[in-house]
Amino acid sequence: MRKLLGFGAVSLMLLGGPAGAEDVSEAQILKALQAPAMPRTRSLSISPPATAAPSADAAFVDSLRNKPTRSLSTGDREKLDTVAATKPQIDLAMEFDMNSDELRGEALVTANKLGKALSNSAMKDQTFVIAGHTDAKGSESVNQTLSERRAEAVRQFLVRNYQIPAANLISVGYGKAHLKNASDPLGRENRRVQAVNLLQVKTAGR
């Protein structure tokens, strides 16, 4: 399967050259997740544009709101991967203790930076995917469950500490299915949490 990498994707290993991924700043996260600027036009709109009907992708995303991470099927995960592939996103290195989903140390520092970025007024009401990834050590089932636990831990942290609406955060685990560095399956860069801005606004009607 593909990695969640597309337009607007940022690899933290490239930010600031050789510096560690944990050195990412709140500003860098915010910049990576912002919607692309709308192209300017010389023509003036006489009347406001009609409201577009919800797309199939929007309906799918809505169906995942408040859905427990572990309840997502393989089909749900694959479709979410496809929907998110071309959206602004960023990889965040988050080192957890072995078999743990507890945020502490550098992982906690990074989670706080993510929280500050997502609670910025520029991100108001946007919908985000929080995707957990592991390295290749261990079985697929163990890594799948672990990635789900870690993604959900980050989601709950953001809801609890930064008052981001739970319905605006969709957590998903991909286990070791999307290795960032397949040539080094046990490399630390594979152990990460990915944030994706789906560019979909959660409205009162949804």
Cβ–Cβ under 8 Å, residues 103 and 95: no
CA 150 from centroid of its chain's CA atoms: 12
Residues 186-204 have a mean pLDDT of: 87
The answer as to whether 142 is a domain residue is yes
* Confidence tier at 203 by pLDDT (50, 70, 90): low
The answer as to whether 186 is a domain residue is yes
For the chain, what is the radius of gyration of the CA atoms? 17
Residues 150-167 have a mean pLDDT of: 97
The answer as to whether 195 is a domain residue is yes
The answer as to whether 47 is a domain residue is no
The answer as to whether 2 is a domain residue is no
The answer as to whether 206 is a domain residue is no
Q: Which of 7-16, 61-70, 192-201 has the lowest mean pLDDT?
A: 7-16
**Tokens matching residue 121:** 């007024």
Looking at the structure of the chain, the number of domains it has is: 1
CATH number of the domain encompassing residue 64: 3.30.1330.60
Cα separation, 105 vs 112, whole angstroms? 11
203 versus 164: the higher-pLDDT residue is 164
Q: Which of 105-109, 114-118, 126-130 has the lowest mean pLDDT?
A: 105-109
The answer as to whether 98 is a domain residue is yes
Cα separation, 151 vs 194, whole angstroms? 9
pLDDT of residue 54: 57
pLDDT at position 206 over 60: no
The answer as to whether 42 is a domain residue is no
| Geometric angle at alpha carbon 18, from 15 and 21, rounded to 5° | 55
pLDDT of residue 5: 43
**Tokens matching residue 135:** 């390295």
Provide the residue range defining the domain that includes 149: 9-34+55-201
Q: Rounded to a whole number, what is the distance in angstroms from the first to the last CA of the chain?
A: 30
Residues 186-203 have a mean pLDDT of: 89
pLDDT at position 32 over 80: yes
pLDDT at position 36 over 90: no
18 versus 92: the higher-pLDDT residue is 92
Q: Could you report the per-residue pLDDT of 122-137, keeping only the tens digit for each? A: 999 999 999 999 999 9
**Mean of the per-residue pLDDT values of the chain:** 84
* Confidence tier at 40 by pLDDT (50, 70, 90): low
Residues 26-46 have a mean pLDDT of: 76
H helix intervals, 34-133: 56-64, 74-84, 105-118
